[in-house]
Structure 1
Amino acid sequence: MKPIRLASNRPAERFYRGGARIAAFRGEPGTAPREPEDWVGSTTTIRGESTLGLTTLPDGRLLREAIADDPVSWLGRSHVERWGDDARLLVKLLDAGQRLPVHAHPHDGFAASHLGRPHGKAEAWYILEGGTVHIGLREEASTEELGELVARQDVVALLGLLHEVEVAPGDVVWVPPGELHAIGAGVLLLELQQPEDLSILLEWEGFAIDGAVEGHLGLGFDLALSAVTTKARSTAEIEALVHPAPPSGSVFPRAADEYFRLERLPVRGAAVLDPGFSIVVVIDGAVDLAGLPLSAGATVLVPAAAGRLEVSGAGELLIARPPAA
């Protein structure tokens, strides 16, 4: 098995605007106004959909079906022994054409108990184009207080509860399950997350979604908001969540390792891509990956059976992987 270059996989008519920065990053034609996400190497569907969001391979098969047919070759024996054919990873390019709403995602236990899902939704970002992000409570707020702000749709107060942080290209942001957050307009990022589409929306005015109906995952806000972290984050804690990535190697905080991993690999002449299932994103320059010529904006799916791969050229790669088995 060899690395596979992936085409864009941008679900249309999402509830927020964006997509032009993804098209520019990939060197592709312009996009519709509500295609702000590229689901890269996806075995996950948009919530409530049967196939939308899934990656189709160049041979016409769905990646999800290909992995189910031969999980060891795709994911590796140790991964399959622990998790079966669950890839344990969803990677996205995300272009915030407008500020995203204040929201949070449930943790594994909540998702299993109340939604019947095998994962919650931890996520982390590598910033490609900077701007502002909002993350973590500045002061403790009870579930009841949050519920009142949601009922009033008091956006000013909701945003005011959160730390506002400027981010630049090369920064990383770790968003633990339950953490309130919002991505500011103009930010382009690579997102790694657990393979679910589960969001608890605390605001929705100005977005193409009926948040009063869809924002609580069908649970009602009283229950849904119980999955939200209500403790305050200190400045030091925010600095641990948001910081520049190291120049090479693993870039996310250690707490993210149980969910996914991201490696930064600069290439100056020659380098090696270690074995294992991964999704590779070229963020700078031009490289050759095992005979596959790639330039900035390319995304590549690497099966575990491809083994150790040589990389040559001058550029930089981001390598997304599931948690270590």
Structure 2
Amino acid sequence: MNPIVLPSNRPPERFYRGGARISAFRGEEEAAPREPEDWVGSTSTIRGEEALGLTTLPDGRLLRDAIEADPVAWLGDRHARRWGSDARLLVKLLDAGQRLPVHAHPHDDFAASHLGRTHGKAEAWYILEGGTVHVGLREDVAVETLADLVARQDVEVLLGLLHVIEVHPGDVVWVPPGELHAIGAGVLLLELQQPEDLSILLEWEGFEINGPQEGHLGLGFDLALTAVTRTARSVAEMGALVHAAPSSGSVFPRDADEYFRLVRMPVHGAAILEPGFAIVIVTAGAVDLAGQQLTAGATVLVPAAAGRLEVSGDGELLVARPPAP
């Protein structure tokens, strides 16, 4: 099995604007106004959809079906023995054409107990083009206070509760389950997350979504808001969540390792991509990966059965992987 260069996979008509920065990064034609996400090597669907979001392979099969048919070849023996055909990873390019709403994602336990889902949604970002992000509470907030702000859609106060941080290319942001956050307009990022589409929306005015109906995952806000972290983050704690990535090696905090891994891999001459299922994004320069010429913006699906691969050239890769089994 060989690495597979993937075209973009952009679900249409998302509830927020964006997409132009993904087009520019990938060297593609301009996208529609609301195609702000590229679901790379995806075995996950948009919540409530049967197929939207899934990656189709060049032979016409869905990646999800191919992995289910041969999880060892795609994911590796150790992964398949522990988790079967669950890839345990969703990778996206995300272009915030407008500031995203204040929201949070549930933890595994909440998702299992109340939604019947295998995963919650931890996520982490690698910043490709900078701007402002809003992450973590500056002060403790009672659930009743949050519920009141949501009911009144007091966006100014909601945003004011969060730390405001300027991010730059090469920064990383770790967003544990439950953490309130919003991505500012103009930010382009690579997102790794658990393979679910589960968001608790505290804000929806100005977005193409029915917040009162869809924002609570069908649970009602009284229950949904109990999944939100309501304790403050100190400045020191925020430094552990948001910081510059090292120039090479693993870039996310260790707390993210149980969910996913991301390695920054500079290539100057020759290098080796170690075996295992991976999604590779070329962020700079030009490289040869197993005989395929790739330039910045390319996204590549690497099956475990591809084995140890040679990389050469002058550029940089981001290598996204599931958690170590």
Question: Which residue does 1:94 correspond to in 2?
Answer: 94
Question: Which residue does 1:189 correspond to in 2?
Answer: 189
C-alpha distance in structure 1 between counterparts of 2:145 and 2:272, whole Å: 51
Give the 3-state SS of the residue equivalent to 2:92 in structure 1: strand
Query: Within the alignment, does 1:10 sit opposite 2:7 as a pair?
Result: no
- Show CA shifts across 1:133-171 (max 9, x none): 000000000111100000000000000000000000000
The alignment's C-alpha RMSD in Å is 0.3
Gaps of 5+ in 1: none
C-alpha distance in structure 1 between counterparts of 2:3 and 2:219, whole Å: 41
C-alpha distance in structure 2 between counterparts of 1:78 and 1:71, whole Å: 10
C-alpha distance in structure 1 between counterparts of 2:160 and 2:183, whole Å: 14
What percent identity do the matched residue pairs reach?
81
Give the 3-state SS of the residue equivalent to 1:226 in structure 2: helix
C-alpha distance in structure 1 between counterparts of 2:59 and 2:5, whole Å: 12
Query: Within the alignment, does 1:44 sit opposite 2:30 as a pair?
Result: no
C-alpha distance in structure 2 between counterparts of 1:230 and 1:287, whole Å: 45
C-alpha distance in structure 2 between counterparts of 1:307 and 1:289, whole Å: 12
C-alpha distance in structure 2 between counterparts of 1:270 and 1:168, whole Å: 28
Question: Which residue does 2:299 correspond to in 1?
Answer: 299
C-alpha distance in structure 2 between counterparts of 1:241 and 1:144, whole Å: 26
C-alpha distance in structure 2 between counterparts of 1:222 and 1:239, whole Å: 31
C-alpha distance in structure 2 between counterparts of 1:227 and 1:82, whole Å: 28
Q: Report 1:271-286 matches (<5 A).
A: 271-286=271-286
Give the 3-state SS of the residue equivalent to 2:238 in structure 1: helix
Gaps of 5+ in 2: none
Give the 3-state SS of the residue equivalent to 1:35 in structure 2: coil
Question: How far apart are residue 124 of structure 1 and its match?
Answer: 0.1
Question: How far apart are residue 277 of structure 1 and its match?
Answer: 0.1
Amino acid at match of 1:195: P
Question: Which residue does 1:223 correspond to in 2?
Answer: 223
C-alpha distance in structure 1 between counterparts of 2:47 and 2:24, whole Å: 27
- Show CA shifts across 1:14-50 (max 9, x none): 0000000000000000010000000000000000000
Query: Within the alignment, does 1:267 sit opposite 2:260 as a pair?
Result: no
C-alpha distance in structure 2 between counterparts of 1:202 and 1:273, whole Å: 41
Question: Which residue does 2:62 correspond to in 1?
Answer: 62
Amino acid at match of 1:52: L
Question: How far apart are residue 108 of structure 1 and its match?
Answer: 0.1
C-alpha distance in structure 2 between counterparts of 1:157 and 1:164, whole Å: 13
C-alpha distance in structure 2 between counterparts of 1:316 and 1:25, whole Å: 14
Question: How far apart are residue 307 of structure 1 and its match?
Answer: 0.5
Question: How far apart are residue 117 of structure 1 and its match?
Answer: 0.1
Question: Which residue does 2:104 correspond to in 1?
Answer: 104
Question: How far apart are residue 231 of structure 1 and its match?
Answer: 0.3
- Show CA shifts across 1:66-95 (max 9, x none): 000110000000001110000000000000
The total of aligned residue pairs comes to: 325
C-alpha distance in structure 2 between counterparts of 1:151 and 1:238, whole Å: 28
Amino acid at match of 1:71: P
Given the two structures, how large is their TM-score scaled by the length of structure 2?
A: 1.00
Given the two structures, how large is their TM-score scaled by the length of structure 1?
A: 1.00
Give the 3-state SS of the residue equivalent to 1:165 in structure 2: strand
Question: How far apart are residue 242 of structure 1 and its match?
Answer: 0.2
C-alpha distance in structure 2 between counterparts of 1:37 and 1:214, whole Å: 19
Which runs of 4 or more aligned residues in structure 1 lie more than 4 Å from their structure 2 counterparts after TM superposition?
Answer: none
C-alpha distance in structure 2 between counterparts of 1:286 and 1:91, whole Å: 22
